[in-house]
Amino acid sequence: MKVLDFPLAKITICFIIGILVCYYWQPTIFLAVATIIITAILFLMLYFLSGKNKKLLLFFGISTCLISFWLGIITLLLHTDSLQQSNYIHCKKAFENEQNISFTLMEQLKSNSYNDRYVALLNHIESNTYTGKIIVNIKKDNLRNTLIIGNIIQAKVTLQHTTAPKNPNQFDYGKYLANKQIYAQVYLSKAEIEVSKKIRKNVWFYAARLNSRIIRNLEKAHFNKTEMNVAMGLILGQRQEISSDILKDYQYSGATHILSVSGLHVGFIMLFILFILKPISNTRKGSFIKLIAILISLSLFGIISGLSPPVLRSVVMFSFLAIGNHLRRGSNIYHTLLISILLILLFEPYFLFDAGFQLSYIALFSILWIQPLLKEIWKPKNKISTYIWEALTVSFAAQIGTFPVCLYYFHQFPCLFFVTNILILPVLSFTMITGIVVMLISAFFSCPVFLIQIFEKSIYILNLITHTIASMEYFVIRDISFNFYYLITFYLLTIAIIFWFKKPTYPKVMAIFISVILVQLSFIMTKKDLEEKQELIVYNVKKKTIITERNGKKMLLFTNEDLKKNSKALSIIGNTESLHDIQKIKNTFFFNSKKILLIDSSGVYKRNSSPDILILTQSPKINLDRVLLDLKPKIIVADASNSYSIQNYWKTSCSKKRIPFHATGEMGFYKLN
């Protein structure tokens, strides 16, 4: 039975399309509800009429797809917190002046050099009840951090909007948080907060307390700190304390996925439970006992790991696989996965825009679809060769499926990923089984020292393998330019090729040729866009002045840095393939018939030069009111090399003269097309 012949496959696809359309179109609730009511009436009419007239079955199917489509739209609208009137985003005064707010700590995030960071649920602003999630940044000091999940905190503070990236081609952290329904953050010191004696004991509190008990028991057994941090990421998905060097090693070796709890980890747990329950016969009763044991074990694992979204996704996915296996529907595993996708997106539609969600399901679908095809290429005679070949085919299948998405999001490719997977899989299998046992024991008691030592050594070997492979950095291709055109056309080509390999036919050959043409068109369109691109950008870099001028493929970089030490400038502009030259900043230059004057720390400028754009850098000691009278610019741009206090004076002066003022520290980079 073909996957698309399964009714829920079409329903799931239409539901996903509805979510995507809603995300980019954002219709009103009224329009969505009115349309789905009309569609539902049409659906019911066709349902009864199609029983008498089979010709109407096609229209009944179309109406079903339309209902799924609009249900996807409504689901996303209902899960968009900013549309709820109770959400703090509608309390404008909280973003303008200090307000007394109350919030409950919900999840601990990875700390940075300056702050301990949390996700919190807002309770009140002044005396009014509000809802929504915020990021809480609490300044580090010499005292130990005693805050726990469930703490109710009061503070007087101004909410700050999550901002767009301050430079082009940067990760849009504001959009990332918005997809998690987080629209603001606060910055506090410990002296500014008042912690309530009352603790909100919800599921997040108990999950965090269980997690803390595991860490405490591991620390008592003198578990090496470096290995323990990796163990927490490997087994429980808690990556907050893993050092940046170790993360870099796993990234460059192509093994980052093992530090993010996903289908791989939950799959290991499921296999481990099945191995323990092997003595139970596969009768109806025995199969049911196994199913209940798997569902309970996966649920407990989700709670122990802190109920993070990636873990919940994987637990739901494998729970459905276990149910499908119990119902003897293993042949329709694609359908089981589609049902799990539909269920997850019904409750959390914004997961669709999460890279982890996309990679998890694409990897699993790829393994199920492509790996059997790769496996048939060679059939080894002995067990060792069979193991290595199966590991390779699984790795290559997953990589083929996720390759375009990885390039689109991360713009790099570790060429030695297959070597990493072959070497770490035996160690990882042992480490996962040992780790699960250690974590389960540590959740309730002190774990035997010999078990912890075995677990610690296996983590050490894992780190050693990834570090050895990652040290060969010349096998990591970085700064790969890969846009949305490439993403779509490469997937079309991959799918067409796989279909042809499955069963070669003439129409499939034509599909491959059409896909190749589309890939070529995507390259042509990208090249055309690049050649027609003309822009001047003033970047936002603290204490630095960096300006780029692009004319087609040719890009010039102007900076006040020593030209021999311009690594900062190069890292800011990202892809340096089209960089033609690096030059010292000029005080006067022209771009697209516009005259641009730059005043630096010397404060020297030529009167009556009448520039279109005036750029202020390095905090020049000037009287801006007089400068504005002398030069009469159309817009003022101040980069982040200027002091904050001086920029406030300049902003006031420009406001009086009604001249636009663009401070990159506040508004982000300035671009002139």
* pLDDT tens-digit series, residues 3-34: 566 677 888 899 999 999 999 988 888 888 89
Structure tokens that stand for 583 in this block: 């030059």
Is the model's pLDDT at 479 over the cut of 80? no
Q: Cα separation of 192 and 659, whole Å?
A: 38
d(CA 472, CA 319): 39
Taking a C-beta distance cutoff of 8 angstroms, is the pair 462, 424 a contact?
Answer: yes
- Report angle CA 324, 327, 328 to the nearest 5 degrees: 90
Q: Does the pLDDT value for residue 565 go beyond 60? A: no
CA 503 to chain centre: 36
Q: Quick one: average pLDDT of 371-399?
A: 83
Percent of the chain with pLDDT over 70: 93
In the chain, % helix, strand, coil (3-state, to 5) comes to: 60, 15, 25
Q: What local confidence, expressed as pLDDT, does residue 98 receive? A: 92
pLDDT, residue 332, reads 66
Q: What does the chain come to in residues?
A: 673
Query: For residues 250 and 234, what is the distance between their CA atoms, to the nearest angstrom?
Result: 12
DSSP codes, 590-631: EETTEEEEEE-TT----TT---SEEEE-S-----HHHHHHHH
The residues facing 546 across adjacent strands are 559
- Tokens standing for 183? 């629209």
Q: What is the Cα–Cα distance from 560 to 544, expressed in whole angstroms?
A: 7
Per-residue pLDDT tens over the stretch 40-62: 898 888 888 877 777 777 888 88
Query: Are residues 615 and 639 in contact, defined by beta-carbon separation less than 8 angstroms?
Result: yes
Contacts of residue 619, Cβ cutoff 8 Å, sequence gap at least 6: 601, 641, 642, 643, 646
CA distance 206 to 148: 11
Cα–Cα distance measured from residue 43 to residue 48, given in angstroms and rounded to the nearest whole number:
9
Angular region, 193: left φ>0, alpha ψ -120 to 50, beta rest: beta
Which one-letter amino acid corresponds to residue 410? F
Q: How far apart are CA 631 and CA 337, in angstroms?
A: 66
Q: pLDDT of 448-473, one tens digit each?
A: 888 888 888 998 998 899 889 888 88
CA distance 611 to 590: 9
What do you get for the CA distance between the two ends of the chain, in Å? 54
Mean pLDDT of the chain: 84
> Is residue 558 pLDDT above 90, yes or no?
no
Q: What is the pLDDT of residues 94-144, one digit of tens each?
A: 999 999 999 999 988 888 888 899 999 999 999 899 999 999 999 988 887
The pLDDT, as a whole number, for residue 134 is: 95
CA separation for the pair 421, 22 (Å, rounded)? 39
Alpha helices, H only, 221-354: 225-236, 244-252, 263-276, 284-304, 309-326, 333-347
Q: Which residues contact 385 (CB under 8 A, 6 or more apart)?
A: none
Give residue 1's pLDDT band: very low, low, confident or very high (50, 70, 90): very low
Classify residue 448 as left (phi > 0), alpha (psi -120 to 50) or beta: beta
| Residue 615 or 579, more confident | 615
Question: What is the four-CA torsion angle of 526, 527, 528, 529, rounded to 10 degrees?
Answer: 50
Average pLDDT over residues 584-597: 87
Region 193-216 average pLDDT: 84
Query: Cα–Cα distance between 151 and 170 in angstroms, integer?
Result: 34
Q: What would the mean pLDDT of 554-560 be, rounded to a whole number? A: 82
Contact (Cβ atoms closer than 8 angstroms) between residue 223 and residue 231: yes
| C-alpha count within 13 angstroms, C-beta hemisphere, residue 91 | 25
Closest CA to 67 of 92, 37, 45: 37
**Structural contact between residues 424 and 255, judged by C-beta atoms closer than 8 angstroms:** yes
Mean pLDDT (whole number) for 618-641: 90
Q: What are phi and psi of 581, to 5 degrees?
A: -160, 155
CA distances from 567 to 50, 341, 638 (A): 69, 44, 22
The pLDDT of residue 186: 94
CA–CA separation, 69 vs 17, rounded Å? Answer: 6
b/e sequence 257-293, b meaning 16+ C-beta within 10 Å = bbbbbbbbbbbbbbebbeeeeeeeeeeeeebeebbeb
The CA-atom distances, in angstroms, between 600 and each of 110, 464, 524, 558, 646 are: 38, 50, 41, 13, 13
CB neighbours (10 Å) of residue 439? 24
Q: What is the spatial distance between Cα 412 and Cα 405, in angstroms, rounded to a whole number?
A: 11
Residues 6+ apart with CB under 8 A from 326: 287, 288, 290, 291
Report pLDDT for 136: 94
Q: Residues 255-294: pLDDT tens digits?
A: 777 776 666 667 777 777 777 877 787 777 888 888 888 8
Say whether pLDDT at 212 is over 60: yes
Strand segments, DSSP code E, in 339-487 are: 413-414, 476-477
- pTM of the shown model: 0.83
Q: Mind listing the pLDDT tens digit for each residue in 222-257?
A: 888 888 888 887 777 677 778 888 888 888 888 777
Q: What is the pLDDT of residue 604?
A: 84
CA 542 to chain centre: 26
Q: How far is CA 455 from CA 225, 258, 430, 433, 451, in A?
A: 13, 16, 9, 9, 6
Tell me the one-letter amino acid at 98: E
pLDDT in tens, 427-453: 887 888 888 788 888 888 888 888 888
Q: Which residues contact 249 (CB under 8 A, 6 or more apart)?
A: 463, 466, 467, 470
> What average pLDDT score do residues 634-648 get?
91
